[in-house]
Amino acid sequence: MKFGHNLPRNQVPEWASSYINYKGLKKLIKTAADAAKNGEELDLAEFFFSLDRNLEDVDRFYNKKYGECARRLRLLRGRYGQAAQLPEGIDKDEAQDLMGALLELRSQMRNLKWYGEVNRRGFIKITKKLDKKIENVCLQERYLASKVNPRPFAHNLPLNADVNLVNEWLSGLGDIKTFDDTGSSHSAASLGRVPGRSLHLPSGLLDAVDSAIRGDKVDDLSQQLEEAAASNGMDSSSFQQALLNFLQRAISCRARSCIERLLQDIISLDEEDDINKRNCIHRLVINIGRSKSGETLGVEGALLQSSSEARNFIVPATAPNRQPRPCTTTEEESTKLLSENDESVSLLVYLLDHLRADQRAALQARDSYGRFPLHYAAQYGFLIVCQVVMKHMQDWGQFNVSQGIDSSDWQDDEGNAPLHLSVVGGHPLTTKALLDAENWRGTSEERLASRKEISQSGAALALATRSNFVDIVKLLVEAGVDVNHQDDGGETALHMAARYGYDECAKALLKGCSTNKAEIDIPEKTFAWTPLFIACVDDHISMVEILAAAGADLYRCDNSGWTAKEHAALRGHMDIAVRLAELAPTRDTLRAAPTDTRIARAGSPPQSSLDERRSKNLNRDTITTAQKVPEPVKTFGHRYLTKETMVLVSLGSMDIRKDMPAVKLDDIPLADAHATQLDTALSVVVTASGANGEPTVIDLPVQDNIATEPITFMTSDVDKVKLLFDIVPTYAGSHERVVGRAVALLSTIKTSIGAKRISLQGDMKVPIMAATTLDVIGTVNFNFLIITPFQHPSMSITEQHTYWKKMASSTMVIGHRGLGKNTASRTSLQLGENTIQSFISAANLGAEYVEFDVQLTKDHVPVIYHDFLVSETGIDAPVHTLTLDQFLHIGEGQKPRSSRTRSPETIPVLNGNSGTEDRPSTRRLRSYSVDNSKQRNIHIDRQDELTERMKHTRDFKKKGFKGNNRGTSIQSSFTTLERMFDELPESVGFNIEMKYPMLHESEEEEMDQYAVELNSFVDTVLQKVYDKMGERNCIFSSFNPDICLMLSFKQPSIPVLFLSDAGTSPVGDVRAASLQEAIRFASRWNLLGVVSAATPLVMCPRLVKVVKESGLVCVSYGTLNNDPKNVMLQRNEGIDAVIVDSVLKVRQGLQAPNQDVANGIMNEAALVMPSTSVPTINEAVEAL
Q: How does DSSP classify residue 1056?
A: E
- At 444 the pLDDT is 52
Separation CA 45–CA 53 (nearest Å): 12
Residue 561's contacts (CB-CB under 8 Å, 6 or more residues apart) are 591, 592, 593, 594, 595, 596
- In Å, what is the CA distance from 244 to each residue of 75, 265, 383, 626, 984? 17, 10, 28, 51, 98
pLDDT at position 854 is 94
Give the per-residue pLDDT at 520. 93
| Residues with Cβ within 8 Å of residue 209, at least 6 apart in sequence | 188, 191, 221, 224, 225, 228, 246
Question: Which parts of the chain have pLDDT scores under 50?
Answer: 1, 84-85, 177-189, 195-198, 295-311, 322, 325-329, 447, 603, 605, 620-636, 638, 801-808, 896-932, 934, 936, 938-939, 1155-1184
d(CA 831, CA 820): 8
Distance CA 1139, CA 816 (A): 6
Q: Exposed e or buried b for every residue in 1054-1082, given b needs 16+ CB within 10 A?
A: bbbbbbbbbbbeebbbbbbbbbbbbbbbb
Q: 978 near 836, Cβ under 8 Å?
A: no
Q: 161-211 pLDDT, tens per residue?
A: 998 888 888 877 766 544 444 333 334 445 555 543 445 666 678 888 888
CA dist 568 and 534 (Å) reads 10
CB proximity list for 359: less than 8 A, separation 6 or greater = 263, 266, 268, 269
Give residue 801's pLDDT: 47
Task: Please state, in angstroms and as integers, the Cα–Cα distance from residue 1037 to each residue in 198, 312, 668, 1048, 1132, following that order.
Answer: 83, 54, 49, 10, 24
* Residue 406 CB contacts under 8 Å (≥ 6 apart), including other chains: 417, 419, 420, 451, 454, 456, 457, 460
Residue type, 723: L
Residue 1084 Ramachandran class (φ > 0 left, ψ -120 to 50 alpha, else beta): alpha
- Picking from 194, 168, 308, 189, the residue whose alpha carbon sits closest to that of residue 252 is 189
Q: What pLDDT does 57 receive?
A: 94
**By CB neighbour count within 10 A (0-12 exposed, 13-18 middle, 19+ buried), where does 394 fall?**
middle
User: What is the Cα Rg of the chain in Å?
Assistant: 38
Long-range contacts of residues 940-946, Cβ cutoff 8 Å, at least 24 apart: 942/896, 942/897, 942/966, 943/967, 946/872, 946/894
Please list the helix, strand and coil fractions of the chain in percent, rounded to the nearest 5, in that order. Answer: 45, 15, 40
pLDDT digits (tens, 9 = 90+) for 230-273: 777 778 888 888 888 889 889 988 899 999 999 998 999 988 77
Q: Global pTM?
A: 0.77
Classify 121 as helix, strand or coil. helix
